Amino acid sequence: MKASCIIRARMAKRWYKNPYKLTFLGLAVAGVAGASYLFSGGSGAAGRISNAAQSNIYAADEPLSTLPATLIPGLILLTPDQMVRTPLVDGFQWPVGTAAMGMMYDAQPFGAMNNKRGGHHTGQDLNGIGGENTDEGEPVFAAARGLVIYSGTPHEGWGNIVVLAHRLPGSNKIIQTLYAHLNERDVRPGQLVGRGQKIGSIGTANGHYLAHLHFEAIESLSQEAGMPGYHPTGTMNRINPAELITSHPAPAMADPYEQVRRLMIREAANAAPASTTTTPSKPGTIQLNPSQFLK
């Protein structure tokens, strides 16, 4: 026993005096410490790696350097299912007043500089021609056929918000429209709406503003519901709503989708109880799913 201890002590002493072995030991210790730091939580490298991975969702929209330091929660990043379900539009109309925005005016145009708020306006503030709160409670309509991807209140300063997704004809590009400061919301996420369908009413964001509709158009697959309405470096991934409506005008007729949806609802209300058996369709006919019109 004593002899083995003496042998181990002499071997350790010789190993300690060997400079190459000391260098190897130092590298090994440094490697273990680095790995521990890398995979530790908190403010270490793991936190930075995690943040970098999460921030990639913004890469297609805007460089991180131009994003606000603080984002209000409510990121809407379209899922594959939502992208598939986003309907093709037949054109855009104004969401308040008449389809041509009769009886309304643009109180603060897109891109206008507001020194008091510290940035460029990312949408349009649509007001009734009576001014003040004369338009409070007036209906807000879907600017185009779309899929509801958000319906909620992300921040008290924004009040109620509805966001719709639309697919443009030809380019297959997806555009989002945002309707803010609503008194009420009449739609829910996942619902398909027709152009001109009522989705809410003009509000004041719980008294934060005089009644108006803040209307945005977003060229993006993601949108932060309730992102600050002004940005010092510009309008980010927003596009001019007026130019969108001008470049893709809605036909004079009402949206056929909305007409069919109303017809299906009326027929369903007067229909007899559904039978448990189904009647096979004739060859060459297209089966409609009534549930998509009843949502």
186: CB partners within 8 A, 6+ apart: 198, 199, 200, 201
List pLDDT tens digits, range 70-127.
555 567 889 999 999 999 999 999 999 998 888 888 888 888 888 877 788 889 999 9
Integer Cα distance of 268 and 295 in angstroms: 12
- Would you say residue 157 has pLDDT above 60? yes
HEC string of 221-258 equals CEEECCCCCEECCCCCCEECHHHHHHHCECCCCCCHHH
SS3 label, residue 6: helix
Q: How far apart are CA 227 and CA 216, in angstroms?
A: 11
Averaged confidence pLDDT in the chain: 75
pLDDT of residue 65: 57
Domain ranges, ordered by start, for the chain: 2-48, 64-247
Q: Which tokens sit at 235?
A: 């309008």
Task: Give tens-digit pLDDT for 162-180.
Answer: 999 999 998 889 999 999 9
pTM of the model: 0.68
Band of pLDDT at residue 147, cut at 50, 70 and 90: very high
Distance between CA 37 and CA 92 in Å, rounded?
A: 53
Report the chain's C-alpha Rg in angstroms: 29
Kindly indicate the confidence band of residue 4, based on its pLDDT and cuts at 50, 70 and 90.
Answer: low
Tens digit of each residue's pLDDT (9 = 90 or more) over 207-239: 888 899 999 999 988 888 777 667 777 777 899
Predicted confidence at residue 230, as pLDDT, reads 75
Q: Residue 260's pLDDT band (boundaries 50, 70, 90)? A: confident
**More confident site: 132 or 56:** 132
CATH 2.70.70.10 assigned to domain 64-247? The reply is: yes
Q: Which two tokens stand for residue 44?
A: 């270490």
Answer yes or no: are the C-beta atoms of 163 and 176 closer than 8 Å: yes
